[in-house]
């Protein structure tokens, strides 16, 4: 089924076509959301919202545009809005909660059975520092970097989703990496 | 290559964004500079956590849930119309009732208190009297302080 046929089918309330569309794209949408949210349950919730929005607003969609680009754009926007509106993510974005080992890490201690608890704590902490650093990038750098790194989307696809030129994507990702490295160095020097 | 230049390029080195020549220079530098290779390891470890978050398997019930939610939305979108219609009917009735109630209360209060002009005239003078006392009290207090 081409995009055009698919859109027409969804507009005609063809449930089977919509189901197929969800199943073909859910994997990538969940991963896009998780790239921003770093929480699988949240990513799945937002993924549901994304497909519901597609279904409800399919009539506004221009048939000559690319359906997947539109879908991924909705996924990015919904994820960013969720971060903006959600307290849990705000806490995560606060630097104090990352580097206070007694406060945060103890609660999330891994099972006793695990053979390498220290390694897991270290990894968890690393992951939080990385998330904090990525989240503190300028918005467009963050979007481009996340789509490229977490979702392995091509620069061309990212350019389509963000509606900017290919060279802008290159420049955004270059600056994102440079800034990210600087932010990470700061953490290492502090500790 | 100097440490500063190597540090600046570590993330690009790890991502394979550099030219062959730059790659070799950094490799060479890392082999003998302990400080830079420590930073290199840190950055590499940090970026490697991204790999752990990739490729999440989706919940097999995702479509079922979406379908359920769409059905709920459908149901609700029929109910609100009914609710609004009820509201539209109810509001004028409520407003008329409140107006009628207001008139009724006004009339009954008027009937229960026949004109007593003396009473109305007396009350303000009592209030003035009380106010005078209070003012005196404040002045007295101020004078004492001086
Ligand atoms: Zn060095």
Q: Which of the pair, B33 or B132, is modelled with greater confidence?
A: B33
pLDDT (0 to 100) of residue A160: 96
Work out whether the CA dihedral B73, B77, B78, B80 comes out positive or negative: positive
> How many domains does one find in chain A?
2
Of the three residues A94, A109, A124, the one that is the final residue of a domain is A109
Structure tokens of B137?
Answer: 């009290």
pLDDT (0 to 100) of residue B85: 53
Range with the lowest mean pLDDT among B13-17, B86-90, B114-118, B135-139? Answer: B135-139
Same domain, A15 and A60: yes
Which positions in chain B touch A152 (Cβ < 8 Å)?
A: 54
pLDDT (0 to 100) of residue A89: 59
Q: At what angle do helices A67-85 and A155-162 cross, to 10 degrees?
A: 70
pLDDT (0 to 100) of residue A109: 44
Q: Which of the pair, A163 or A94, is modelled with greater confidence?
A: A163
pLDDT (0 to 100) of residue B124: 47
Is residue B96 very low, low, confident or very high in pLDDT (cuts 50, 70, 90)? confident
Structure tokens of A161?
Answer: 């989703």
Range with the lowest mean pLDDT among A29-38, A66-75, A104-113, A178-187? Answer: A104-113
Report d(CA B69, CA A126) in Å as an integer. 37
The domain spanning residue A163 has which CATH number? 1.10.10.10
Which domain, by its residues, includes A161? 113-191
Same domain, A21 and A55: yes
Of the three residues A52, A81, A109, the one that is the final residue of a domain is A109
Mean pLDDT of A7-20: 92
Same domain, A127 and A146: yes
Q: Which of the pair, B112 or B67, is modelled with greater confidence?
A: B67
Same domain, A49 and A63: yes
Same domain, A163 and A77: no
pLDDT (0 to 100) of residue B108: 82
Same domain, A180 and A123: yes
Same domain, A185 and A117: yes
* Nearest Cβ partner for B54 among A43, A150, A180: A150
ipTM of the complex: 0.79
Q: Where are the domains of chain B?
A: 3-60
Same domain, A124 and A146: yes
The domain spanning residue A47 has which CATH number? 1.10.1740.10
Question: What's the pTM?
Answer: 0.71
Which positions in chain B touch A19 (Cβ < 8 Å)?
A: 63, 67
Same domain, A16 and A66: yes
Are B56 and A31 in contact (CB < 8 Å)? yes
Same domain, A96 and A134: no
Q: Which residues surround ligand 1, an ion (CB under 5 A)?
A: B 3, 33, 36
Note the pLDDT tens digit of each residue in A34-67: 999 999 999 999 999 999 999 999 988 877 778 9
Contacts of A148 (CB under 8 A, 6+ apart): A155, A158, A173
Same domain, A126 and A184: yes
Of the three residues A46, A81, A109, the one that is the final residue of a domain is A109
């Amino acid at each position: 089924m081409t995009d055009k046929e698919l859109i027409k089918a969804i507009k005609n309330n063809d449930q089977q076509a919509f189901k197929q569309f969800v199943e073909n794209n859910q994997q990538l949408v969940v991963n896009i959301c998780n790239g921003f949210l770093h929480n699988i349950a949240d990513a799945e919730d937002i993924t549901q919202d994304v497909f519901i929005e597609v279904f409800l607003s399919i009539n506004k969609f221009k048939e000559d545009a690319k359906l997947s680009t539109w879908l991924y754009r909705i996924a990015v926007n919904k994820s960013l809005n969720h971060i903006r509106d959600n307290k849990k993510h705000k806490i995560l974005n606060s630097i104090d909660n990352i580097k206070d080992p007694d406060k945060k890490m103890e609660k999330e201690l891994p099972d006793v059975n695990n053979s390498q608890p220290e390694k897991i704590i270290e990894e968890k902490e690393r992951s939080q520092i990385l998330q904090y650093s990525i989240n503190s990038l300028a918005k467009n750098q963050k979007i481009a970097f996340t789509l490229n790194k977490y979702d392995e989307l091509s620069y061309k696809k990212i350019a389509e989703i963000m509606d900017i030129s290919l060279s802008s994507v290159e420049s955004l990702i270059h600056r994102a990496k440079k800034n990210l490295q600087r932010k990470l160095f700061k953490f290492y020097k502090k500790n | 290559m100097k440490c500063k230049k190597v540090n600046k390029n570590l993330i690009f080195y790890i991502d394979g964004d550099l030219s062959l020549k730059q790659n070799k220079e950094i490799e060479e530098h890392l082999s003998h500079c302990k400080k830079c290779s420590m930073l290199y390891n840190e950055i590499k470890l940090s970026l490697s956590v991204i790999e752990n978050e990739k490729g999440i398997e989706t919940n097999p019930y995702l479509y079922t849930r979406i379908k359920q939610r769409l059905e709920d939305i459908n149901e609700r979108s029929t109910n609100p119309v009914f609710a609004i219609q009820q509201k539209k009917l109810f509001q004028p009735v409520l407003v008329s009732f409140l107006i009628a109630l207001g008139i009724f209360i006004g009339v009954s209060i008027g009937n229960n208190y026949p004109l007593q002009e003396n009473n109305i005239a007396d009350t303000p003078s009592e209030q003035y009297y009380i106010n005078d006392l209070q003012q005196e009290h404040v002045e007295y207090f101020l004078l004492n302080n001086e």
